[in-house]
Structure 1
Amino acid sequence: MLEKVYAYVVEATKLELSDQGNSLYISEQLQLSRNMVSQYLNQLFAEGRLLKINTRPVVFYDGDTIEDMYGVSLHQREFISLEEFQKALQPHQPQDFEKLIGYDESLASLVNQCKATISYPPSGLPLLLYGPTGTGKSFLAQLMYEYAINQGLIAEDRNFLIVNCSEYANNPELLTANLFGHKKGRLPELTGIIPV
């Protein structure tokens, strides 16, 4: 009987997360007592074969079928609500430093230094990124900016300004104007006001 209940849950799971995985519905379909079906479902859950959603009524799904259908790997087997369960089915979107290949291995030390620099109280430390062209300095700076926003260290509406120093080699006033703004007409090669 246990395997019959399990087979039914597997088939019900394939029906795109229907609510047919509750003990009352299964007991009616298999013509078994609701208490017996509930006992089997909880036993299958305890064995790690089913997922459990603690809604009313409690709903069970086959974990392997869900993982295959949605292409995810679920580390959690029990969920408080259907919303929590559906959120777990969303593919993980890498954030800030997770986008950097090797962030948790070969570049872990660099990432930790960047995080410490950004997080240093009260408002982070100055940081200069240098290196040959094409080594990822601008990308790393963008990830640091995303990290600061994700950690609530800066407001989401703050701008990320990329400064290519080679553009200002012959005109350092232009750099100052781009960073801090300028008044119209003060620099002949610029027109308009650049907001800060």
Structure 2
Amino acid sequence: MALERRTVLAVLTGVLTAGCSAPSGDGEPPTQPGEAPQCDPADVSRPPVATGTNIQGRAYPQKPETLTTDSILLYLDDFETAFAWNRVLQTAETVTSVGVNNLEGFWPDETGDGYLASSGIRVSYSTADGDRSEREYVANYFVSPGPVYRYESSNEPVTPETDAEETLLVQCGADS
């Protein structure tokens, strides 16, 4: 009986710790349970704050040091406004006006290792040629103490999958 118990414990220990002691495919040690995921600011992908345009670009807000439902709600509203605003200034020429409307508000749900939040966004802009454009989408975020991920969908909120090609790492820590 003691031998069977030891065998079962050894097998369970091996199964539960598999993948925790060897480096991952990129040579970096894997994230340990309870540890924040690593984040390289060089991997951040978001429209730069526009300069030298008719309209001033928007600076990205700092992520709150303490993550709460209220702090994330305000942070994501400001962050998505800056993201959408700067994207318009980056992709359209001779922009004369930009409007970004958060249609539902970001209402974060705590997941244990961070927060998930989504909201419908309407972006409109006009150009010097008199052209006007409007676009709606859903901005989906995962906010953790380390990285912040963004995924854009067309109709329904979705969970940003950190390893999906369409998911963008948009911020590391509080300062980037």
Question: If the length of structure 2 is used for normalisation, what is the TM-score?
Answer: 0.25
Q: Does 1 or 2 have the higher relative contact order (CA < 8 Å, sep 6+)?
A: 2
User: Which has the larger strand fraction?
Assistant: 2
